[in-house]
Amino acid sequence: MSILRDAKRTLMPIYAGLKHVFLKPYTIKWPYENIPNLPDEGYRFDPKAGIGYPGSKGRHLLYMEKCTGCGSCDLTCQNIAEAITMTYGFDVVTVLDEKCYEYFKEFRPEIVEALDAILGSFSAEPSCIQYNSLSSFFWTPTDVKQIIKVDGRYEIKLNLEPIFDVRAVEVLYQKVYPGVKKLKVTGWELGKLEAATESASVELSKQDLTVSVLVRKIDMGYKQNRRSFFPSVDYGRCVMCGFCVDACPFQALEMTNEFELSALSRRELIYTPSMLAKRPEEFNITGVPPELNVIERARMVFRRLVW
């Protein structure tokens, strides 16, 4: 009897499993296939009613036209993951005087070497992430042709999009200083470094030439946020709890259903306010899903037909 019972018990799993051989498998072949269970809505919070709305807790979405730079989100996250840092937007400008500009037009080697060093260090990726600094990873190529004359001096703006950081001097130290220091070898002299939270500058001189590099805060033109003070989120730290969304009294912060946040370096995980302000459909960090080759495509079709 016991043998018979064991035989039945042994055969039953095979029978139970056999049914599933002829059914289509559960597996979703992400990223080749869409994920059906992703809610379209992101998590939002209504400060008036004091209640959240259900939705995905993915990457944040910042409404720059609503954010007042109050820092409530930062304060909340300091207690959770320290992912949010409040940042200003900065421009990096090289200022040439009259004589330098003449030299620049003639492509004299003295001035070219100085500009070369400044630009080179500006576009190089910093070697490490320093504490409390958030220089954005994405830089835009400098438009050297765009030269503006201000007060008899000529300004070359090095960045097309604002650089977000906590203090101006951090930008100067990380983005400009490494290159400028190398210029000492060729006879350039470094002037005094002037550093404040909102602007920083360093002056370079060689004989009668003077070039200065200036980091200055920009006004992004939002009426409610005159200081242009916005949160940046470090996704290497964020745990996607959504309490910063709850803390925002102006409904400026939301979450989206974008969860594909992987990156190749830690710096790429720091999202600046201008990146957070883009909707997921405008800004796809992971890019298009990899293309399938013919064999893989055929195998998937085959799977569909058979099962």
Q: Contact positions toward another protein, by CB under 8 A?
A: 6, 9-10, 12-13, 15-17, 23-24, 26, 34, 36-41, 43, 45, 47, 50-57, 76, 79-81, 239-243, 246-247, 255
**If binding is defined by CB under 6 A, does position 238 make contact with ligand SF4?**
yes
DSSP string for 245-266: HHH-TTS-EEE-S------SST
89 binds, among ligand SF4, another protein, none (CB under 5 to 8 A by kind): none
Q: How far is the CB of 22 from ligand SF4 (least distance, A)?
A: 44
**C-alpha dihedral sign at 232, 238, 243, 245:** positive
Alpha carbons 144 and 159: distance in angstroms, whole number: 10
Residue in 137, 250, 259, 283 binding ligand SF4, rule: CB under 6 A:
250
Shortest distance in whole angstroms from residue 44 CB to another protein: 9
Among 118, 119, 183, 244, binds ligand SF4 (CB under 6 A): 244
Q: DSSP states of 275-297 as a string?
A: HHTS-TTT--TT-SPPPP-HHHH
Residue 193 binds what, of another protein, ligand SF4, none (CB under 5 to 8 Å, by partner type)? none
The residue within the footprint of ligand SF4, chosen from 68, 135, 136, 274 (CB under 6 A), is 68
Distance of CA 153 to the CA centre of its chain: 33
80 binds ligand SF4 (CB under 6 A): yes
For position 275 contacting ligand SF4 by CB under 6 A, the verdict is no
* Structure-block tokens of residue 7: 């035989």
Q: Does residue 277 interact with ligand SF4 by CB under 6 A?
A: no
Minimum CB separation from ligand SF4 for residue 248, in Å? 3
**Main-chain dihedrals φ then ψ at residue 217, nearest 5 degrees:** -75, 145
Pair 91, 162: CB distance under 8 Å: yes
Q: Can you tell me whether residue 53 is helix, strand or coil?
A: strand
Cβ-contact 90, 162 below 8 angstroms: yes
**Between 51 and 292, CB nearer to another protein:** 51
Using omega within 30 degrees of 0 as the cis cutoff, is the peptide bond preceding 280 cis? no
Nearest approach, Cβ of residue 66 and another protein (Å): 17
* Integer Rg of the chain from CA: 28
Region of 39-47, 162-170, 189-197, 247-255 interacting with ligand SF4 (CB under 6 A): 247-255
Report if residue 252 touches ligand SF4, rule: CB under 6 A. Answer: yes
Shortest separation between residue 271's beta carbon and ligand SF4, angstroms: 10
The single-letter code of the amino acid at 66 is K
For residue 205, give the nearest of 192, 218, 224, 195 by alpha carbon: 192
Q: For ligand SF4, which is the closer residue by CB, 187 or 249?
A: 249
Question: Is residue 253 a contact residue for ligand SF4 (CB under 6 A)?
Answer: yes
Count residues binding ligand SF4 (CB under 6 A): 27
Tokens 């602007």, located at residue: 199
Select from 61, 67, 96, 172 the one that contacts ligand SF4 (CB under 6 A). 67
Residue of the chain from 58, 179, 242, 273 that contacts ligand SF4 (CB under 6 A) = 242
* DSSP code per residue over 162-226: PEEES-HHHHIIIIIHHHHHHGGGGT-EE---EE-SSEEEEEEEETTEEEEEEEEE-----TT-T
- Where does this chain bind ligand SF4 (CB under 6 A)? 67-73, 76-77, 80-81, 83-84, 231, 233, 238-244, 247-248, 250, 252-253
